[in-house]
Amino acid sequence: MPEQAPGVRIDGLTVVYKTAAGELPAVRDISLTLEPGTITGIVGESGSGKSTLALSLLNAVQPPGRIAAGSVEIDGLGDVVGLRGEELRKARGRHVGYVFQAAQNSLNPLKTVGKQLLDLGRSHGVEDLRGLVREAKELLGRMGLDGARVLDSHQHELSGGMRQRVGIMLALVLNAHLVVLDEPTTALDMITQANILKIVREVHAERGLTTLVITHDIGVVAEVADRLAVMYGGRLVEQGPTREVLGAPSHPYTRGLIKAIPRLVGDIDEAQALPGRPPTLTSVPDQGCVFRDRCPLRMDVCDTVDPAAVPLGSRIVACHAVNVKEHA
Amino acid sequence: MTPIAKRLAGHLARGFVMILVVATISFFIINNIPGDPMAARFEELIEQGASPEAAAQSVKVLYGFQPDGSMWQQYLDYMAGLFRLDLGQSVTRPGTPVLDVLLEKAKWTVLPVLIGTLVSFLVGIILGVYAAIKRTGKLGDALAISGSLLHGIPQYVLAMLLVVIFATLIPILPADGPVDILFEPGFNAGYIGSLAEHAVLPVVTYALSAYGGWILAMKSSVVTVLGDDFILAAELRGMKRSIVFRYIARNAILPLFTILALSLGLLMGGAVFIEKIFNYPGLGLLLIDSVNERDYATMGGAFLLITGAIIIANIVADLFYTVIDPRVRSGEESA
């Protein structure tokens, strides 16, 4: 069991889904490093492949999808793409905690949270079940809940925000040091959202975690993430330190996203929506840049050559136009 | 009052009203059916040379109410009888209360159908889970096909097939009634053994014909649950397969209990063809015979019995849910 935050190196990861039209990539050739002890945020629209990427970290891409290429190296675990059966099962929960979207029902509706906690403990051979319950109560208390009451409750007796905290508790209670949060605040009200993000930040710092947050909400990333990665059409188009990327976006897609956010002050019309719509699994072009149809900087080369992810100062950007400008 | 007691009281009250409604409807249908059995009997007696008074008296004894009273009066008599558990007297068995006839016949229906239904339920749901989990493989296909096939074969065809195979071609099992008449009825090994031996084919028939429905229903229920988020969540938390399996099974089986309760209620109606083929003197045969013989008192009684059984089965199913489904339970507490 790693007692400190593990690093994660995703290299050349491609995940394909089997469809009537053959195997189509939902995630294509993604390389991303999660530094130990950092919070990384992945933003992207629905269908950009961010949840598929998150599931890949647990080698849990659901059929008809499969990891077609690449590796996911996690310190203390090795390449999870190669893990199978019991080895894989034990890594899940123990090494990597996964927190589901708040609106999703991630608990068995027929059992109390406490009983499911015990099931979790037994699944991972925890001998001191009392200690596990104590730990769970402490975590819940830490997040502002009455631990004893929550453990005695069924899912339907808990609010969305409470369920989300239960999800975080279950992801951490086995002392996992890598935590993946998939849309942690979606479908929660603003106050609860802020609370959950505060908890994520605090727990991350206290327990020394490596955290990956998946969201479609740039605000969430701005709030918690040290580093930010932007996904579009199954590709990582830009990544770098959050402040830099948000302050001076390089990729035309990132720029478009930020321009589309309405400001609290000023004219509402200053916010400009990105023209066009994001590609789906079947409409992603199989060659050239995935963003070219909506791109204001489109060049001829974009139609034929997929832009490589190139380091650009402290960030990595995949765009022909940006590279040309930089190297001109 | 505890929530469950409150719920039970409400159900009993509703069930009581429903039984009264069914009794009323069946009373008026039977009394308005073409070929009034009482008038027919009355005329029969007159033809046999009885005086109108004697004939009327005889008919009254036979049916338990006044045939020439007003319909309203007859109805009140009938309902008053119900409260004393008096369903009138059987027409074809003069002097025998309908209730006694029903109870005597019920034992030949209830036990075989009950055992057959429970066995098929257990086997069907267990195999249904496998059929769902292995649905893309050969085993899943084979199970689903076996279910559709058995579900599609009419019960009486299945019964005759079993008789031909196991009683005629390979005569290892009897199909000639509920028990060997050589044995003295009572709690002795010979009698019980003979009962069991005779019950094998009918029970297997009931079980096989119900099995298809269970496996198909369970399969689709499991497939639905497999798509639920909490199953993926449990897997991503590294839960043991056996635990995830229990999560799936328990959630998937919930909706099937309603069907089980209903089919247990329906079993009171018996299976006419099966009882005919195996010569079981049960409720199904009784119902058919009473229709053929215009024994309307027995018919009405049988209808009431079936209705009552279904209403009770529903109440049991509902209370059962409050025990096994925490969502129903707490819904009741907050109500």
Question: Confidence band (pLDDT; 50, 70, 90) for B270?
Answer: low
User: Hey, are the CB atoms on B238 and A93 less than 8 Å from each other?
Assistant: yes
Say yes or no to pLDDT of B335 above 80.
Answer: no
Measure B242 CA to nearest chain A CA, in Å. 9
- In this predicted structure, the answer to whether residue A161 has a pLDDT above a threshold of 70 is yes
Residue with the bigger pLDDT between B165 and B317: it is: B165
- Which of A118, A119, A212 best probes binding to B when mutated, by most B CB atoms within 10 angstroms? A119
A70-74, A280-284, B19-23, B148-152: lowest mean pLDDT where?
A: A280-284
- C-alpha B101/C-alpha B89 separation (Å) is 9
Residue ranges in chain B assigned as alpha helix (H)? 3-32, 37-47, 52-63, 71-83, 98-133, 138-152, 155-163, 189-226, 229-236, 241-253, 256-266, 272-277, 283-292, 296-324, 326-334
Asked if residues A254 and A318 have their Cβ atoms less than 8 Å apart, the reply is: no
pLDDT recorded at residue A73: 94
Structure confidence at residue A81 as a pLDDT band (50, 70, 90): very high
Q: Where are the alpha helices (DSSP H) in A184-319?
A: 190-207, 218-224, 242-247, 252-259
DSSP alpha helices (H): ranges in A42-146?
A: 50-56, 85-94, 113-123, 129-142
One-letter identity of residue B83: F
Strands A178-182 and A210-215: parallel
How many CB atoms within 10 Å of residue A265?
5
Which whole number is the average pLDDT over A275-301? 84
What is the H or E stretch that residue A236 is in? strand A235-241
Mean pLDDT of B137-161: 89
Tokens of B314: 């529903």
> Residues 221-250, chain B: which have Cβ within 8 Å of A?
228-230, 232-241, 243, 247, 250
Work out the pLDDT band at A96, boundaries 50, 70, 90.
very high
Specify the higher pLDDT residue, B24 or B70: B24
Whether residue A44 is predicted with pLDDT greater than 80 in this model: the reply is yes
pLDDT of residue A1: 43
In total, chain B counts a number of residues equal to 335
Cα separation, B209 vs B203, in Å, equals 10
A-chain residues near B233 (CB < 8 A): 98, 100, 104, 106-107, 167
Specify the fold of B109-282: MetI-like fold (1.10.3720)
Give the whole-angstrom CA distance, residue B258 versus residue B319. 11
Nearest CA in chain A to B326: A110
A178-182 β-sheet, strand order: A96-99, A178-182, A210-215, A39-43, A227-232, A235-241, A315-317, A310-312
pLDDT at B33 over 90: no
Q: What's residue B174's pLDDT?
A: 85
Window A:63-102, CB contacts with B under 8 Å = 89-94, 98, 100
- State yes or no: pLDDT of B334 exceeds 60: no
User: Would you place residue B92 in the very low, low, confident or very high pLDDT band (cuts 50, 70, 90)?
Assistant: confident
Which DSSP state fits A14?
A: E
By C-alpha distance, the chain B residue nearest A58 is B236
Q: In a 10 Å sphere around its CB, with 0-12 CB exposed, 13-18 middle and 19+ buried, how is residue A249 labelled?
A: buried
Determine the Cα–Cα distance for residues B81 and B72; give it in Å rounded to an integer: 14
Q: B315-326 in b/e burial notation, b at 16+ Cβ within 10 A?
A: bbbbebbbeebb
Residue B9, pLDDT > 50, answer yes
Residues of chain A contacting residue B226, judged by C-beta atoms under 8 Å apart: none
**Does residue A130 belong to the interface with chain B, where contact is any CB pair within 8 Å?**
no
pLDDT (0 to 100) of residue B244? 93
From chain B, pick out residues whose CB is under 8 angstroms from the CB of A84. Answer: none
> DSSP secondary-structure letter at B84?
T
Does the pLDDT of residue B333 top 50, yes or no?
no
CB pairs under 8 A between A and B: 76
Give the closest of B235, B240, B241 to A60, CB-based.
B235
What are the residue ranges spanned by the domains of chain B? 109-282
Decide if pLDDT at B36 tops 70: no
Instruction: Describe the strand order of the beta sheet including A65-74 as a list of residue ranges.
Output: A22-34, A8-19, A65-74, A78-79
pLDDT for A328: 59
Nearest CA in chain B to A169: B237
Q: Which domains does chain A have, with CATH numbers?
A: 8-106+177-189+207-327 (3.40.50.300)
Between residues B167 and B186, the one the model is more confident about: B167
| Distance from the B238 Cα atom to the nearest Cα atom in chain A, whole angstroms | 5
Q: Which of A123-137, B53-67, B247-261 has the lowest mean pLDDT?
A: B53-67
d(CA A24, CA A65): 9
pLDDT category of residue B239 using cuts at 50, 70 and 90: very high
Mean pLDDT (chain B, rounded)? 83
* A227, two tokens: 């580093």
**Chain A contact set for B238 (CB, 8 A):** 89-94, 120, 123-124
Rounded-to-integer distance, Cα A297 and Cα A254, Å:
13
Which chain A positions have a beta carbon within 8 Å of B251's beta carbon?
108-110
- CB count within 10 Å of CB B214 equals 26
pLDDT digits (tens, 9 = 90+) for A171-218: 999 989 999 999 988 878 888 888 889 999 999 999 999 999 999 888
Interface touch B251/A110, C-beta < 8 Å: yes
C-alpha distances (whole Å) from B106 to each of A167, A172, B206, B260, B312 are: 54, 59, 16, 19, 16
Query: Mean pLDDT, to the nearest integer, of A224-247?
Result: 93
Angle at A179 between CA A231 and CA A82, to 5 degrees: 80
Taking a C-beta distance cutoff of 8 angstroms, is the pair A308, A318 a contact?
yes
CB contacts of A62 in chain B (<8 Å) are 232
CA distance, residue A230 to nearest chain B CA (Å): 25
CA nearest to A121 within chain B: B239
Question: What values do phi and psi take at A13, rounded to 5?
Answer: -75, 125
Which residues, 6+ apart, have CB-to-CB distance to B172 below 8 Å?
A: B166
Q: What is the pTM of this model?
A: 0.80
Above 70 in pLDDT, residue B37? no
Residue range B273-285: mean pLDDT, rounded: 86
